[in-house]
Structure formats: C-alpha cells, structure tokens
Structure 1
Amino acid sequence: MSRYRRKKKNRAGRFSIACIVILLLAVMSVQIVRLYDKNQDYDLKEADLNEQLEQETERRDQIADYEEYIGSQEYVEDTAKSKLGLVYDNEIVFKEK
C-alpha cells in the first residue's frame, strides 16, 4: 500500500472514533440532565413526606394527650356538667337569659 492510502484509512478511523466519542458524550449529557431532574423531583417528594411525617407525629401526640384526658376525672366532671347539667352541692350556676 502506498503512504497516501494508509493516511486515508487512518483519517477515516480517527473520524469514526471521534464521532463515536461525541455520540457517547451527547448520550451521557442527556442522561445526566434526566438524572438531575429526577433527583430534584425526589428531593421535593422527600421534603413533602418529611412535612407529612411531622404533621402525623404531632397528630399522634395530640391523640395521646386526648386519650389521657378522656381517662381523667376532669373529663368525667366536664362531661357531666356540660351534657347532663350536674353540679357539685357547693357550686352556684349562673345562666344567661
């Protein structure tokens, strides 16, 4: 083979390798952008779920406090006063007209 043909084959080989590398870089860039967007979505979902967790934890605490209140003597007295109209012997009841 002549020297000219070898250079021509070398150029074609280099060109094809350069095209493949550029194509791979383009594909990888697109994938990086997609993963970045997906990561942003997951961060938003995580923040939302953390907020929901805090709300549910607060609600659980409120329910526990209410359950404790229901079991107390104070609840029994309040219920008897409000629903049944019962009072202690030494209490004075003022009613609005």
Structure 2
Amino acid sequence: MAKTSNHKKIEKKAPRRKARGGMIMITGVVLVLCFIITYSSFGLRSQLRENAAVEADLEAQISEQEEVSQDLERESEYIRSDDYIEELARERLGLVHDNEIVFQKQDETSAQ
C-alpha cells in the first residue's frame, strides 16, 4: 500500500507543474502585450499632439479666411452702391454736381 500512496503523490504533482508552466507562459504573453500596448500608446499620443497642432492651425486659417470673406462682402456691397459710382465719376472723369464750383490749380509753366 505504501507504493500506491507514493504513486498517487507523483501523479498529483505532474499536473501542477504543467499548470505552473502554463501560468508562467500566459503571464509572459500578458507582459509582452502590455509592453506593446504601452509602446504604441506613446506613438499615438505624439500623433495626437501633432493632430491638435494641425487642427489649431486650420482653425486659425478658417478664422482668417472668414474675416477676408467679410471684407470682400463689404467691398462688394460698396462697389454696387451709388456712393462708389459717384466717387469714380469724380476721380476718373472729373464730373461734378450742377451746384458745385471747381477750382483748378494752375501749373507754374502755364502761369508764365
């Protein structure tokens, strides 16, 4: 009977060794995966910072372009106005209203 009890102890130890080896392997795989995930997260954080900088730059460009668009809209409205047409007629064509008096500066060569 003594032999059978020792034999049973040996059988019980063998599965524990296999289980212990499997646990070590699983722990190793989990540690490797944790390392890979941590390493990848640093790259993703760097890319996230770069994307945030690009986003801020694009938002600044959008704001600038909206201001330019508003300026162009105001200029377009002014060009379509009677005030602009009158200004052009005065500057380029020398036109005046009926009730205005025009004073011209005499050139020195024509005054002699």
With structure 2 as the length reference, what TM-score do the two structures score?
Answer: 0.70
Paired positions, count: 97
Question: 2: CA distance between counterparts of 1:44 and 1:93?
Answer: 60
Counterparts in 2 of 1:34-73, with a 5 A limit?
Answer: 34-73=43-82
Deviates further, 13-22 or 59-68:
13-22
Counterparts in 2 of 1:8-19, with a 5 A limit?
Answer: 8-19=17-28
What residue is the counterpart of 1:86 in the other structure?
A: 95
Counting aligned pairs with the same residue, the percent is 27
User: 1:94 and 1:13, CA in 2 relative to 1: closer, same or farther beyond 3 A?
Assistant: farther
Compute the displacement of 1:25 (Å): 0.4
User: 1:79 and 1:34, CA in 2 relative to 1: closer, same or farther beyond 3 A?
Assistant: same
Q: Which runs of 5+ in 2 are unaligned?
A: 1-8, 108-112
Amino acid at match of 1:66: E
User: 1:79 and 1:6, CA in 2 relative to 1: closer, same or farther beyond 3 A?
Assistant: same
User: 1:10 and 1:82, CA in 2 relative to 1: closer, same or farther beyond 3 A?
Assistant: same
Larger radius of gyration: 2
Deviates further, 15-24 or 60-69:
15-24
RMSD across aligned C-alpha pairs, in angstroms?
Answer: 2.4
Q: Which runs of 5+ in 1 are unaligned?
A: none
3-state SS in 1 of match to 2:97: coil
User: 1:51 and 1:21, CA in 2 relative to 1: closer, same or farther beyond 3 A?
Assistant: same
